[in-house]
Structure 1
Amino acid sequence: MNDGGDRLPWLVVRQDDNGNRYRVGAYATRAEAEQKADQLDAHGHKQLYLIEQAAAKQQ
């Protein structure tokens, strides 16, 4: 499966109260990822949204 890691290197990850982590989306720029995290953060229920750079693919 190709998740677009080469073109979309910035990830938004949600971490729940138990420490479980879920990828919310992948974005081309850090600014896009931050904007999405800010939108999600504004929705009331407090979750932790993190911005991470995707790991480089090994070939």
Structure 2
Amino acid sequence: MQLNGVLYAPAGSVTLNGNDTVNGAVVGQTVVINGSNTVTWNQSVVETVPVQQPGLIP
């Protein structure tokens, strides 16, 4: 899967298996990443999502 956007499941779990590419963000109560996945934070993509913007936890 290749996604330019946000996987948004704040009360659910998100699992990426295999060789997925996300250019944006992944939000979930739990996030599991297995395999050769790439997740790249892209502020310009995230700003297009019509929900309260997620913040990064330091």
> Which structure shows the bigger proportion of residues in helix conformation?
1
Question: With structure 1 as the length reference, what TM-score do the two structures score?
Answer: 0.26
Structure with greater Cα Rg: 1
Question: With structure 2 as the length reference, what TM-score do the two structures score?
Answer: 0.26
